Structure formats: C-alpha cells, structure tokens
Amino acid sequence: MNVPVALSITLTYLLVALCIGVRARGGRSMARLEEWGVAGRSMNGVVLYLLIGAGSISAYTFMGAPGWAYSKGVPVFYVVIYLSYLAMVAWYFGPKVWALGERFGHVTQADAIRDRYQSPKLGALAALVMSIGTLAYAVLQTIGAAYILDVMSGGAIPRWAGVSVVLGIMAIYLWLSGQRAIGMTNAFQGALMLVIAWLIGLWATHQASGDWWFGAVFDRLADQRPGFLTLPGADGSMSFAFWTTSILVSMVSFMPPVWMQWMSARSPTTLRRSATWLPTYYVVILPMVVVGFIGIFALPQLERADTVALTMAMQSMPAALAGLLGAGTLAAAMSSSEPFIHATAVTWARDVLRPALGLSEAATARLARWLLLAIMALIVAPLAITSPGNLVMILLIGLGFAAQVLPAFIGMFLWPRATPAGVTAGILAGFAVTLLGTLVWRNPLGVHAGFWGLLLNLPLFVVVSLSTRPVAREVTERFFAIMARH
C-alpha cells in the first residue's frame, strides 16, 4: 500500500476536523457553562441527528463490528437493535430532560439527580461513579485513534505521538468551542463515516464476489459456515438469554454525555424529530459487518478479530480507499471520545467541585475548561499510552454501573414516591451484584451481569423508597408538572 497517500488522507481529515471545531464557536463567549457545556441549548435537528448518531457509534463500527462478524457472525446485529431502542428512549425521555434543564437550569445528569432528590452528595456520587465508565470509554477510543495513525503511517507514528496528536487537536477545539465543537465535528464525522462505510463495504463485496450487493457473501457463508448466520454465533457465546439481557441493559443505560446532547437541542420538538430518524443512521453498521464476514474467507488466520477491516485495507485496497477507511475510523473514535471527556469535565466542575468549594457559576465555567485539559493530560493520555490490561474490565464495570442508576431516573420521570434512600440502596446493591457478575462469576447462567444487578436493584429501590421519607412535596410537584406537559 502507498503509505504517504493513505496517511495524507487520514491527516487531512484531522485538519478539517480541527478547522470545523475551531470555527464552531462563531464568535460566541464561552464564559457561561450553559454555552460551553450544552451549546446554549441551540442545536438544530440535523446536527443533533449526526451528533447522537456518530457519538453512539464509535470506533466499534470500523473495528469492533467487523471483528464480531468475523469471530461470531450475526450476534453483531444486537447492536443495531439496542441502538434503535436507545433512540426510542431519547424520543420519550429526551424532551423531558430538555424541559427540566431549561426550566431549572440543569446542565448535567448529576445536576438533575441532585435537584430531584435534594441531595448534593447523591449528585456528586453519581457524577464520580458514572465518570469511571465514561473515562474508560474515552481512553479506549483514544487508543483506537492512535492505533489508526500507527497503522496508516506504517509504524512511523508511535502510540504516544498518535495519542498526543489526537488529544491535542481535540483539546484545541473543545477548549475554544465546547459542545458546539462536538456538535459540528460530530456532524462532519457522522456524515463522513456513513459515506466511507458504504464505500468500503460495497468495494470489498465487489472484490470478493463480483456483485455490488451482499447476497453472494452470505450465500457462501450459508454453504460453508452456517454457524455464523444464527445465534448463538460461530463461537457459541451469544445465547438468547445473553442477547436479550444485553439489549435490555444497554437500553436503560443513560450515559451522561448523551444526557448533555439531549439538552443541547433547540427545543423538545427538534429533539423528538432527531430521535425519530436516529435509527436510520445505524445502516452505517451493515456494510462494515459485511467486511468482517468477507474476512472469514479472505483472512482466515487473523490474530486479532477487530483488525479485520484495517488488515484487509492494508493488504488489498487502493491507497485512497485505505486512507478513507483510516479517516473514517479516526472520525468514529474521536466523535465518541470527545463528548465523553467533555461531559466528565463539566460534571466534575459542576457537580463535585462547585458544591464542595462553593464556587460561582462563572468560576465553575472557567474551572470546567481547565479540568478538560487536566483530564486529557493527566488521565486520558497516560492511560491511552500505557494501555493497562484491565482497561476493558474497568469499562465493563463502568457501563454496568450506568444501568444501575436506573432507579434515579424512574424517580425523576415516572414515580414520585421514589426517595433518595431508595435510589441509593438500589444503586449500591445493583452495583455490587454487577461487580460480582463481572469479576467473580462472569454473567451467571448466560445472563448479563447488569441484568442480575437490576433484578436486585429495582425491588430494593421500591421497598426502601416506600419505607423512607420522600423529598419535599413541592420538589416532586415541580418535576412531575413538567413530566405531565412533555
């Protein structure tokens, strides 16, 4: 492969993303956290569609999904289903979150939790613990981005340099433009991913079968490897129980950056319209999954399944196409990394340090921007460069926790009787069970550890809530008055 051509295309993408991110500011002051954190609640439907779509897809589309297809087969499609359900969750809950934020000035998820339960401690706890999974996710995406630069440069850009370049570029536009940069760069990255994924998928299919549609690829699989076309998949790992519980647990995991994306919408109607069309974005996954299936025959001895698309690109694609794949994968990694780092900076400043130090609104906004740089330099960069072996485990635990915060949202949107004690008891019990089911007895009986957590969490939440004192009536009344209108 012609490395200079492929690398220059990938680097051109980085420059374009930088320009878009810097220009996204548009002369606005970023002194208010509402502006830097949630773009002054001003994003239009198209930007929001691509922002949420690209943010939820991540490097998984270009590396993980083809890898799953390569090693397991059709179990990979559970992602398409749960992402569609997440869009329905956004359609239903997003406008309520937006209305709460607009009415009561919430910027973060923990902000809303603190207000609903009148507990700064519960808000700070939610902010800190949710950031475990959030940061682990951002670190993994950054590692993916650096890996792309390493591959596309033929090894000339080592991981430390790739991490520095990617984080450096993100730091510049996030510092200058905050959530507006995330919106505009994700819109660009989302559109780019969609085009590149289909270009690569169709090209690889045509090379492998002579057809432009995927049918011949699956015909061959049905003849020679039929185990890839049904559950539990070729490696037998995706039972019906694990498929179902993975979808349900993922569906109820309200990640903090997504919450902030909802609050960035111009209006509840804009958000609802974006959520309505959001599932259509996930056609981006199909062509890359087919690339993974093609790899089963083209690259039978591959050591790491998630490198199947890149390996195929390096071995057989024209340099321009390989460069585009590099750009698309980098876009996917960055579009997921940046909102997670940004959301962590905002929530640490607003929900942990502001109440602890008694900061003003303006000081909190300044602190959030400095925290962004500190998180990148002192947490994300060192972890991405050293890439500790237990990072994926930290991510799994973090994501397992995300689902366990469900009682806090049930109490916010659906059940006025929920109490801070009930929520705390449910979260802690659910988290402990998820931890055991992740570290000690992995997914007992083939059921997702987070689902076992919820089985204890939810009944405990109800029982403790019914036996403890609720927050002041006026608090639940003002929350549920908004629920009734949205």
Partner 1 sequence: MPPRFVRPTSRRGWLLLAAFILIIAAGCWPVIALVNQPVRVLGLPLIALWAYGIVLASVAVMALGNRWLARSDPPAAEPEERVQRERSS
Residues that bind partner 1 (CB under 8 A): 41-42, 74, 77-78, 80-82, 84-85, 87-88, 91-92, 102, 213-216, 218-219, 222, 226, 229-231, 240-241, 243-244, 247-248, 251, 266-269, 272-273, 275-277, 279-280, 282-283, 286, 289, 413-417, 473, 476-477, 480-481, 483-484
Quick check: 50 and 292 in contact, CB under 8 A?
no
Quick check: 79 and 60 in contact, CB under 8 A?
yes
- With respect to partner 1, which residue has the nearer C-beta, 13 or 82? 82
Give the DSSP letter of residue 390. T
Sign of the C-alpha dihedral computed for residues 453, 109, 391 and 21 taken in this order: positive
Quick check: 66 and 292 in contact, CB under 8 A?
yes
Shortest Cβ distance from residue 408 to partner 1 (Å)?
15
Shortest Cβ distance from residue 421 to partner 1 (Å)?
19
CA distances from 191 to 187, 195, 313, 354 (A): 6, 6, 21, 37
Is residue 43 helix, strand or coil?
strand
Sign of the C-alpha dihedral computed for residues 467, 470, 473 and 479 taken in this order: negative
User: How many C-beta neighbours within 10 Å does residue 215 have?
Assistant: 11
- With respect to partner 1, which residue has the nearer C-beta, 269 or 386? 269
Task: Report the residue count for the chain.
Answer: 486
Q: Where do we find the tokens 């059921």? A: 447
Query: Which residues have CB under 8 Å from 226's CB, separation 6+?
Result: none
Shortest Cβ distance from residue 363 to partner 1 (Å)?
24
Shortest Cβ distance from residue 414 to partner 1 (Å)?
5
CA count, 13 A, side-chain hemisphere, 192: 30
What's the token pair of residue 11? 């680097």
- With respect to partner 1, which residue has the nearer C-beta, 226 or 388? 226
Shortest Cβ distance from residue 241 to partner 1 (Å)?
7
Q: How would you class 15 by CB atoms within 10 Å of its CB: exposed for 0-12, middle for 13-18, buried for 19 or more?
A: exposed
- With respect to partner 1, which residue has the nearer C-beta, 173 or 228? 228
Dist. CA 179–CA 217, nearest whole Å = 41
Quick check: 223 and 297 in contact, CB under 8 A?
no
- With respect to partner 1, which residue has the nearer C-beta, 20 or 275? 275
Shortest Cβ distance from residue 282 to partner 1 (Å)?
6
Shortest Cβ distance from residue 415 to partner 1 (Å)?
5
Please compute Rg for the chain using Cα positions. Answer: 22
- With respect to partner 1, which residue has the nearer C-beta, 5 or 248? 248
- With respect to partner 1, which residue has the nearer C-beta, 156 or 481? 481
- With respect to partner 1, which residue has the nearer C-beta, 224 or 315? 224
Shortest Cβ distance from residue 413 to partner 1 (Å)?
7
Shortest Cβ distance from residue 230 to partner 1 (Å)?
5
- With respect to partner 1, which residue has the nearer C-beta, 280 or 315? 280
